[in-house]
Amino acid sequence: MEKLTRRASVLVVVSLLVSVLCLPEPGFAQRGTEIVEIDPRSQSQPFPHYWEHMFGSGRAILSMRESYRRDLRDVKAATGFEYIRFHAIFNDEVGIYDEDGQGNPIYNFSYVDQIYDGLLENGIRPYVEMSFMPSKLAAAQTFQAFWYKPIVSPPKDWNRWSDLVSHFAQHLVDRYGIDEVSQWYFEVWNEPNLDFWAGDPKEQTYYQLYDDAATALKKVNPRLRVGGPATAQAAWVDRFIRHCVDNHIPVDFVSTHVYGNDSAKDVFGTEEAIPRTQMVCRAAQKVHDQVKASSLPDLPIIWSEYNASYKNEPDVTDSVFMAPWLADTIRQCDGLADSLSYWTFSDVFEEQGVIKKSFYGGFGLMAEYGVPKPSFNAFKLLHRLGDRRIPTDSSSALITKRPDGSFAVALWNLYLPEEEHGEPKNVTVVMKGSLGRHRVLISRVDSTHGSVQAAYDEMGQPAYPTRDQIAALRLAANLPPPEKKSLQHGQITITIPPQGLALLELR
């Protein structure tokens, strides 16, 4: 019995020693934790905020609404964006084109002026998508399926199409001055490879549409910037450049679109399964390589539409999934595009008709009644990244340096919406060579930070929230103040929930 007691005592001592020896030392991360190192001596590279240069929106006439302009101001304050793109500046509802009793053109720029004045007064320049065909200029009354029924027919008279573009551009130069308008972009049409263009054959008749418009613009003033083909699914870019070069047609940039749920067959002509976490930047790589291999390798590349989905999917575009998806898309596409324009900044939007409920999977950063979505808050956090990028081996981190010498680090835990069993992730950020104390501010977007979903569910998901409910939703959408922490032994460990995004600011 005494031997057994002595043996048990020895085992307890040994067990305690093992426990002590296995305790993590200060300065070392816990096992299973991802390590993200910041080396201040690493060679950094420029990191222009190409993802917040421009945003898309519905159609031109919506920009005259106060709800649209309120959302515009909120997104401008959060991101500092500079350009806006929308459809249908030539639609009948804008009133730009008519004909008299003898069939002679009549131009009216009253609403055009109100639209562009409103943008400029809010510090936003137009990215002018020249579409769609005025009814009296159309060869046929061929409508696309949108609720507002845009006419997608070629013109009945190609010279009158050129004259419309000429009068439009000349009016803008006369009103705003060439020094201003030369800073705008003019894009010819929208997605002519889909049902937004009824020319036959599509590609060849689109080139005629582009050629006449580009030539007309340059005759007004050669400083005006023009580009295309504004295709869906990253299509036609290489052939479009070749067409312009071979036929001496002016082109100042190329533009195209892609969505995270586009199919590999449509974008690449393959049967592979590409997840929505990779599709946008796989397409960006494709177009980047096409431009670099062309006769105009330095043409700016503008993705004038992109998003995680082209459908109305509430568990995608209204959800916290968008926060890590945006961060990861920005990481992957860095260096492959000059501008990545998120579609759209606001759910003041009517392609499918009048909104039937507040959260329906709309494309906007702002839901109906000006309620910010998690995507808005993600852009707000990512705006605080620096303008120099420091390399990292992590595929779920962006390390940046600001002009004042501070660091901003984005970390995320990306799971697809259909992956229901995501796990929290521990991440330890290590500042190499750190001896002193560094203050750290931590901001988050996840299911409990900057998301209205819980508050909306608690209300019973009302289709038409009351004023008090709208105020409560806006309050729930606000980002809380950053957590204030400090580096201990040159490091800090945080936990990121599934579909979460965190921004660490180290000063």
If 0-12 CB within 10 Å is exposed, 13-18 middle and 19+ buried, where does residue 136 land?
Answer: middle
CA 60 to chain centre: 19
Quick one: DSSP state of residue 481?
P
CB-based burial, 240-274: b 16+ in 10 Å, e otherwise: bbebbeeeebbbbbbbbbbbbbbeeebbbeeeeeb
Please report the beta strands in 95-205, taking only residues with DSSP state E, as ranges in sequence order: 97-99, 105-107, 125-130, 185-188
Backbone angles phi, psi at 323, to 5 degrees: -65, -55
- Alpha-carbon distance 462 to 128, whole Å? 37
Cβ–Cβ < 8 Å for 73, 122 = yes
Which two tokens mark 504? 């660490």
Which two tokens mark 304? 């004038």
Contacts of 252 (CB under 8 A, 6+ apart): 225, 226, 227, 299, 300
- Alpha-carbon distance 362 to 347, whole Å? 6
Outline where 260-321 has alpha helix (H).
264-268, 279-292, 314-317
Report the catalytic residues: 191, 305
CA 480 to chain centre: 23
Outline where 198-261 has alpha helix (H).
202-220, 237-246
Query: DSSP of 447-470, one letter per residue?
Result: TTBS--HHHHHHTT--SS--HHHH
- Alpha-carbon distance 505 to 507, whole Å? 6
